[in-house]
Amino acid sequence: MSPKWKHLEQVALLDAITEQSFSKPQVLFKHSTRCSISTMAMNRLLRLEDAFYQQADFYYLDLIAHRDVSAAIAERYHVHHESPQVIILKQGDATYDASHMEISVAELTSEISA
């Protein structure tokens, strides 16, 4: 994963991420290290232009290693668990989520900028 992505490995980090979403969008990417579709989605996300890293904070979750965090995300933000999945948080809420082949850099960048 790119060094521009922070690792999300503890449920306790969700409080800080939620708080930060009031200042700038927070992007969570739930990745299954056992799934080729998830790897394809991750590779698409790694193509984001550098400018977007100024507009949002990006978090990578290895959901195989941290299932508790994945479950907490689904519960806290009221999003159905998927893998792979990208979620955008703004103002404390999940404002966008996409999974599998729906994960698109163009759509993600549009949602971040909105």
- Considering only residues 81 and 16, tell me which one the structure prediction assigns the higher pLDDT: 16
89, 21 contact by CB (below 8 A): yes
Residue 10 tokens read as 């503890």
CATH code of the domain in which 49 resides: 3.40.30.10
Question: Which DSSP symbol is given to 105?
Answer: H
Q: What's the token pair of residue 110?
A: 């549009």
pLDDT at 3 over 80: no
pLDDT at 60: 94
58-96: per-residue pLDDT in tens? 999 998 999 999 999 999 999 988 889 999 999 999 999
For residues 100-114, average pLDDT: 84
**Cβ neighbours of 27 (radius 10 Å):** 25
Neighbours of 80 (CB within 10 A): 8
Q: Please, are residues 40 and 60 in contact by the beta-carbon 8 Å criterion?
A: no
| Number of independent structural domains in the chain | 1
* Domain boundaries, position 58: 5-113
